[in-house]
Chain A
């Protein structure tokens, strides 16, 4: 039986001492899990090792930790693979630490209530239908149920919260798990408060526009919930369907990107700021009155850009278009011609077409 070394971050709040590292040697088959390894250490060597665990099958969501720096469930991380990864990183032990972005209670156990569950509560996490329920079931499209089942598949393990870079910078950020939960209601045709929910989350400066598209949550989610995708869908619905303009201008910023690339084929950086805050450009004085404050706040950024040479005064006014504009136009026409939204939904798998292609994307009619 192969032997592995686990290096666990230990912390005993009653000892009055700070956290420390402790190594345990375990023996088990490489396809067994890191959790099996930790439990072997606890069973045979030190019963005081603290880790939450229950199902051992990636369903209950208890055993979120960081393994070799990556947020994971310990029960569906194979110990052999974790050891190989550690070796590639130049280490002779598999390093296991508690999840990030949450306070540690003991050893590998973190306080999920203080962060994760508090944030879930923030998104009004229950269905709000209008009026009395029907006598039988609500009649809704099969696709919309499959669609939100992707969010329902969330097991609240907190692994995405642990990996979230935006939350590291802004601890108030509602975060990937809670926002995926929010999509579960926004995408549910039975819920009657779609616009209010979207307005609430768009206008919150720690809401949907606080996400920086880093993909960390998508990468670590053990259930393919792809929280960032759900956040992007919330944004598209907020802006596209309801034209909700948020205080920190995520709507305008996103729209400016799309418009500038449509026009120039590349990003006209010096136009980005004024366009983000205005309907057109500053020159044509179509400034949104609500955003004067933000524009003034952004002034030092402009000055810094000029000083550092990132923006040259000439280039700021004159931006060359991409030579072959027809290709750019073709892409935009193609997207507009669909008339329906292309959604990324891993639950719907196409039979036709390529083997793997179907698993990624398929057009789904919005209800």
Chain B
């Protein structure tokens, strides 16, 4: 049985950062990921990473912008920790080799981003996530003591009789062998659940595995209804056009040629926060001022051509390859699209969940620093700061305890359920059919605008799909890269995620951040300035509440 002090599930930015921090704190570390680490979805983060590192800027300003952006649902203690730690984190990354953009003096340079009162976004062209991910992977290659399990699929979290985490069960995707891993701590760092929506900016691997695994193990999920729609995604395939484009000065127009953000956010215009811009676009589209394909236009031609090629190079390629548009010459049609889940596994500021030894960090987790709406370029920061904190805390904790007992029964149970899926008669619907119905349901009823009637319909459909998933048919009977099987397992994870999103959205009877209820259009601090927690039960998620931590910023009206 492979055994480590700390086992990290997921190898994107949060996972790699956690693994490196745990190793530096003296723990033996395993990092397990269903894709090769550099294939992680952190790659897709284009725009940059926020830090108040400039001499004019302060961490308090960064923190206040984040609190306001969150629509006061973010926990202010966690936000303070993140914003205070941000400048040193940027410097540490720079020292490791990240090729951050430099200004003419050769020092780190910044760009502007939405919802921020200063230009505090540090970046590498528009491949910031990729650049940081690859530099962290360079460090993983350097650290012999971090054992990498690349292309292993996690099927269950294992606890001992006392409820302490004792390891995981995972399947080697290359040969189909299943293994019980022993660990004193398990850090979930396996990203978000965008694939429950269609379309989404998220990669096919973002199926909410970690959120579902923690939920099934009994850890509460928090604020799952808070699903971010990104204002600029391509119609049809949901591909992302970085917020960096608006940061560099691009404008939004409706089909009548009006720069409509003047109506919705007269001060910040296109650089209002994402929920505000997404609602503005969707309102224009719903009220008939969009283009016939259900989009509005993003005009990047106002940005100097040299600057586009230097700072938005990837977007030039995306426009050319995926929309057939030369963005240096003509506007590109965009619409709001599913992008990020602010909610996730409820953790404290050290990444601990309510299950002893189980940690979560990054998009899978809800600390919560993003509350009702995440500011652009705060997600990379979240992954690194709380990935690092989880890794360090888990390593320190591991020093104080003996290895818990991971029973082989868990392995046998998982092997049996996999055998059941693979050996099943081909009677049910196909994985892809159920997934497609789930995606369009969520996009229809649990998107930018929501109401009770739609959410009830969504819940009914999701619960029917959960039943249908129990007999889902798969064609592949083999053990080598049985991606059909993984698709079936991911479908189960996705349905748990979707059910929690819908239940949370139904429960929150107000409009705050990404949750806009047309039947409750106002924010209601008296009743709903609180987190919604969901805990697994046979009959569906059980609802409870917890307080929002407020330190120095009292809720006030949110205008941009």
Residue ranges of A at the interface with B (Cβ–Cβ < 8 Å): 12-14, 31, 42-44, 46-48, 50, 52-62, 76, 105-107, 109, 112-113, 120-121, 125-127, 129, 133-134, 136-142, 145-146, 148-149, 152-153, 155-156, 185, 188, 190, 347-351, 358-359
Given A61-B38, A142-B103, verify A53-B204 contact (CB < 8 Å): yes
Give the segment of B94-102, B210-218, B248-256, B548-556 that binds chain A.
B94-102
B532 interfacial contact with A, CB 8 Å: no
Q: Residue on B with the closest CB to A154?
A: B134
- From B35, B130, B432, contact of A44 by CB (8 A): B432
Secondary structure at the A interface, as helix, strand, loop or mixed, is loop
Q: Give the Cβ gap from B452 to chain A, nearest Cβ, in Å.
A: 33
Cβ 8 A contact of A127, one of B41, B96, B431 = B96
Chain B CB within 10 A, most for which of A46, A127, A129 = A127
What is the bound-complex CA distance between A133 and B134, given in angstroms?
Answer: 20
Given A57-B318, A142-B104: A155 and B174 within 8 A (CB)? Answer: no
Residues of chain B contacted by A347 (CB below 8 angstroms): 125, 309-310, 313
CB-nearest residue of chain A relative to B483?
A: A50
Residues of A within 8 A of B313 (CB): 347
Q: Give the docked Cα–Cα distance between A324 and B35 (Å).
A: 60
Give the Cβ gap from A111 to chain B, nearest Cβ, in Å.
Answer: 9
Query: Which residues of A are found within 8 Å of B560, using beta-carbon distances?
Result: none
Is B162 at the interface (CB under 8 A from chain A)?
no
Residues of B near any A CB (own CB < 8 A): 35-36, 38-41, 43-44, 91, 94-97, 99-109, 124-125, 127, 130-131, 134-135, 138-139, 141-142, 150, 174, 203-205, 237, 239-240, 304-306, 309-310, 313-314, 317-318, 321-322, 324, 430-432, 474-484, 487
The answer to whether B203 touches A56, judged by C-beta atoms less than 8 angstroms apart, is yes
Query: For the complex, what is the distance from the CA of A14 to the CA of B422, rounded to whole Å?
Result: 15
Query: In the complex, what residue of chain B is closest to A116 when comparing beta carbons?
Result: B36
Q: List 5 A-B contacts (CB under 8 A).
A: A42-B483, A59-B44, A106-B481, A145-B100, A347-B310
Are A142 and B481 neighbours in the complex by a CB distance under 8 Å? no
Known: A44-B432, A127-B97. A351 touches B237 (CB 8 A): no
B138 contacts A127, C-beta separation under 8 Å? yes
Q: State which of B107, B309, B431 has its C-beta within 8 Å of the C-beta of A349.
A: B309
Task: List chain B residues, Cβ under 8 A from A146.
Answer: 101, 125, 310
Of listed B106, B107, B138, residue having the most chain A CB within 10 A: B106
Interface centre among A46, A55, A347 (most CB of B within 10 A): A55
A106: chain B residues at CB < 8 Å are: 478, 480-481
Given contacts A137-B91, A348-B310, 5 further A-B contacts (CB under 8 A): A47-B475, A126-B97, A142-B109, A145-B100, A146-B310
Once A43-B432, A137-B107, A349-B305 are accepted as A-B contacts, the answer to whether A148 and B475 lie under 8 Å apart by CB is no
Complex Cα gap A20–B321 (Å): 32
Chain B residues, Cβ within 8 Å of A109? 481
Q: CB distance A349 to B306 under 8 Å?
A: yes
B203 touches A55 (CB 8 A): yes
Cβ–Cβ contact A153 & B105, under 8 A: no
Q: Known contacts A14-B478, A127-B96, A137-B91; decide if A59 and B139 are in contact (CB<8 Å).
A: no
The answer to whether A54 touches B41, judged by C-beta atoms less than 8 angstroms apart, is yes
Contact between B478 and A12 (Cβ–Cβ < 8 Å)?
yes
**A145 lies within 8 A of B101 (CB):** yes
User: Contacts of A12 on B, CB cut-off 8 Å?
Assistant: 478, 480
A140 pairs with B139, CB closer than 8 A: no
